[in-house]
């Protein structure tokens, strides 16, 4: 795919899934950047999506959570081999689960759907990592280390570990030690970002997730769902309660400095050894939609035609996102859309990532 053919292909792909808008940003290891927006950020206002449109980035946050744990390991204030029981009040399962198990999604724990989907709105109290974690039911499905199973509870636990070891709120630590040093224009509050650059999230009027919200969170649903636009329902601005699993919001260009740092050995926030460990396959098994080879510490790992990539999808009410790097090609990217269509929008992000990698020379011709 050439740079010239990208707009037509992307608009066709978005139309097929009824996704209003999409923003993309690509960076080379050497620093060159290309970014663009396509489609519509807000249907009612007719506002176009741009490279600076702000989205919920959801589970891209887990990459930053993993980096925070790695920083603390570098400082010697924790060890990846430590049992979770060393940091959190004891649960029978915590004595055998290590921080490495949590980072690599091999803890054997079960998720709590209601806890990971909980949100709050303007005027509501913010939720710290301890309060968010308290909503999860700790259930061990199998002994740790046996199987890769992607679970949000793993990173909810890591967020509380970071908070306790750093002796400050998780969001404060990440803002001070990762976001600010890298110059990342992202935040843990979409409510603070709500404005002319914020994308409106959308759900299909008949999507199962919409009815789950209505049944499980009836009060929140009355505040979340706004006017219809065709077959889509606009969502009100909201923040994610469990920040460590998916709280970051901002433009694709705002998350791009983290991707660039990962291409450059952790430059600015992590040492080369810690960055290499994040990107190494520490457990084999499928953790992502298209990344089926295994997991690192934060990153998921896949390959297409022998070309290896590392990625992390993000998805939740009204939004899809993906961060991706191709270490051998020295290329990274961030993709965001203002609708989640199950695994299909994540597969679309994967196809776009592959197409952008193929078209890299054309992308930077006039960048």
Under the banding of pLDDT at 50, 70 and 90, the label for residue 366 is: low
Q: What is the CATH number of the domain that holds 45?
A: 3.40.710.10
88 contacts 99 by C-beta, under 8 angstroms: no
So what's the pLDDT on residue 126? 87
Q: Are residues 160 and 186 in the same domain?
A: no
C-alpha pair distances (Å), 96 with each of 102, 107, 285, 302: 11, 9, 21, 28
| Percent of residues, the chain, with pLDDT higher than 70 | 98
Q: Are residues 221 and 308 in the same domain?
A: yes
Burial bucket for residue 361 (CB in 10 Å: 0-12, 13-18, 19+)? exposed
- Least confident window among 54-68, 145-159, 352-366: 352-366
Give the largest Cα separation in the chain, rounded. Answer: 58
Identify the domain containing residue 240 by its residue range. Answer: 6-60+182-363
Average pLDDT of span 206-233: 91
Residue 278 makes CB contacts below 8 A (sequence gap 6+) with 66, 67, 70, 262, 270, 296, 297, 298, 299
Higher confidence at residue 148 or residue 229?
148
So what's the pLDDT on residue 193? 66
Among the three residues 144, 170, 196, which one is the final residue of a domain in this structure?
A: 170
3-state secondary structure of 120: strand
Q: Are residues 105 and 200 in the same domain?
A: no
Asked whether residue 175 is assigned to any structural domain, the reply reads no
Higher confidence at residue 115 or residue 97?
97
What average pLDDT does the structure give for the chain? 94
Asked whether residue 296 is assigned to any structural domain, the reply reads yes
pLDDT at 216 over 90: no
For every residue of 43-56, DSSP letters joined together read TTTTEEP-TT-BEE
pLDDT at 188 over 90: yes
Strand 307-316 to strand 202-204: parallel, antiparallel, or no bridges (unpaired)?
Answer: unpaired
Q: What is the CATH number of the domain that holds 91?
A: 1.20.58
Q: Are residues 148 and 227 in the same domain?
A: no
Among the three residues 148, 170, 192, which one is the final residue of a domain in this structure?
A: 170
So what's the pLDDT on residue 191? 86
Residue 11 makes CB contacts below 8 A (sequence gap 6+) with 38, 39
Average pLDDT of span 306-313: 96
So what's the pLDDT on residue 2? 58
Say what the pTM is. Answer: 0.96
So what's the pLDDT on residue 361? 78
Q: Are residues 28 and 70 in the same domain?
A: no
> pLDDT by residue (tens digit) across 74-111?
999 999 999 999 999 878 899 999 999 999 999 999 99
Tokens found for residue 307? 């070309």
Indicate the number of domains in the chain. 2
Average pLDDT of span 344-365: 89
H helix or E strand, kind and range, residue 283: strand 283-284
Q: Are residues 242 and 293 in the same domain?
A: yes
Q: Are residues 75 and 53 in the same domain?
A: no
Residue 185 makes CB contacts below 8 A (sequence gap 6+) with 250, 251, 253, 254
Q: Is the dihedral of CA 236, 242, 243, 245 positive or negative?
A: negative
Under the banding of pLDDT at 50, 70 and 90, the label for residue 32 is: very high
pLDDT at 367 over 60: no
Q: CA–CA separation, 36 vs 24, rounded Å? A: 6
> pLDDT by residue (tens digit) across 38-80?
999 999 999 999 999 999 999 999 999 999 999 999 999 999 9
Residue recorded with tokens 């690192």: 296
Asked whether residue 274 is assigned to any structural domain, the reply reads yes
């Amino acid at each position: 795919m050439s740079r010239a053919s990208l707009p037509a292909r992307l608009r066709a792909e978005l139309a097929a899934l009824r996704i209003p808008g999409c923003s993309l940003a690509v960076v080379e290891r050497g620093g060159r950047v290309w970014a663009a927006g396509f489609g519509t950020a807000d249907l009612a206002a007719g506002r176009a999506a741009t490279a600076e449109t702000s989205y919920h980035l959801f589970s891209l946050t887990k990459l930053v959570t993993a980096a925070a744990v790695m920083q603390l390991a570098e400082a010697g204030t924790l060890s990846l081999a430590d049992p979770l029981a060393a940091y959190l009040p004891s649960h029978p399962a915590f004595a055998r689960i290590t921080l490495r198990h949590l980072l690599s999604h091999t803890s054997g724990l079960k998720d709590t759907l209601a806890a990971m989907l909980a949100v709050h709105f303007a005027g509501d109290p913010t939720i710290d990592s301890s309060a968010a974690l308290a909503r999860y039911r700790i259930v061990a499905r199998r002994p740790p280390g046996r199987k890769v199973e992607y679970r949000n509870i793993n990173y909810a636990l890591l967020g509380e570990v970071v908070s306790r070891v750093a002796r400050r709120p998780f969001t404060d630590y990440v803002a001070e030690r990762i976001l600010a040093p890298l110059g990342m224009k992202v935040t843990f509050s979409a409510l603070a970002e709500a404005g002319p650059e914020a994308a409106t999230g959308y759900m299909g009027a008949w999507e199962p997730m919409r009815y789950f919200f209505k049944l499980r969170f009836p009060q929140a649903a009355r505040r979340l769902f706004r006017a219809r636009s065709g077959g889509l329902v606009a969502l009100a601005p909201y923040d994610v309660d469990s920040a460590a699993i998916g709280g970051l919001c901002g433009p694709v260009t705002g998350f791009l400095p983290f991707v660039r740092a990962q291409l450059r050995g952790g430059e600015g926030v992590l040492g080369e050894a810690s960055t290499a460990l994040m990107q190494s396959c520490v457990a084999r098994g499928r953790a992502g939609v298209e990344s089926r080879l295994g997991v690192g510490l934060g990153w998921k790992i896949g390959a297409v035609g022998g070309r290896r990539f590392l990625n992390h999808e993000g998805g939740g009410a009204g939004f899809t996102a993906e961060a991706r790097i191709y270490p051998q090609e020295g290329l990274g990217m961030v993709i965001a859309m203002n609708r989640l269509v199950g695994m299909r929008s994540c597969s679309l992000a994967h196809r776009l990532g592959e197409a952008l990698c193929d078209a890299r020379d054309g992308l930077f011709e006039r960048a």
